[in-house]
Amino acid sequence: MKKLLLITCMLPWLMAFGAKHSSLETSVENQGQDLTIKFKIKANDGLELTHQAPWSVTITEAKDLSLETKNGKFVTKEYDKDLPGFTLKTKAQSQSGSFNYKMRAFVCKKDKTKCFPQTHKGKIDWSVAKK
């Protein structure tokens, strides 16, 4: 009975993590070997982004990019409210490659009565335009 009560109490909390309350748009632009990677987030209707929360983006398996990694991960918390999201500038070390990302974001109801942590994950393929 105690286990059922615990699961019932945790269910609304767990649902906040599961549902997507935002969408993410990614892009990669290049000028020569210089790459600009953008992660732009948009809150769903009736919700708004919460800029005070601990946002981050983690890049893994990016062997062909000039990123300072620690234990195979590059992490930045330099959130740009004007985008809103993250902009990373790096150099390509080959003509093409890919990397995995995980972005942590936060959205709230407009009246701030409930907030939802968001995790967006994916893989981005990139290439450098040939001259």
Alpha helix stretches (DSSP H) within the chain: 2-18
Which mean pLDDT values do the consecutive 10-residue runs of the chain (131 residues) have? 38 49 95 95 94 92 94 95 95 96 94 92 91 58
d(CA 63, CA 49): 32
Domain chopping of the chain, boundaries: 2-127
Tell me what pLDDT residue 4 has: 35
Tell me what pLDDT residue 116 has: 92
Tell me what pLDDT residue 20 has: 86
Tell me what pLDDT residue 19 has: 66
Tell me what pLDDT residue 108 has: 94
Tell me what pLDDT residue 7 has: 37
Within 10 Å of residue 44's Cβ, how many Cβ atoms?
A: 14
d(CA 117, CA 18): 9
Which one is the CATH code of 2-127: 2.40.50, 2.40.10, 1.10.3470, 2.60.40?
2.60.40
Query: CB of 99 within 8 A of CB of 67?
Result: no
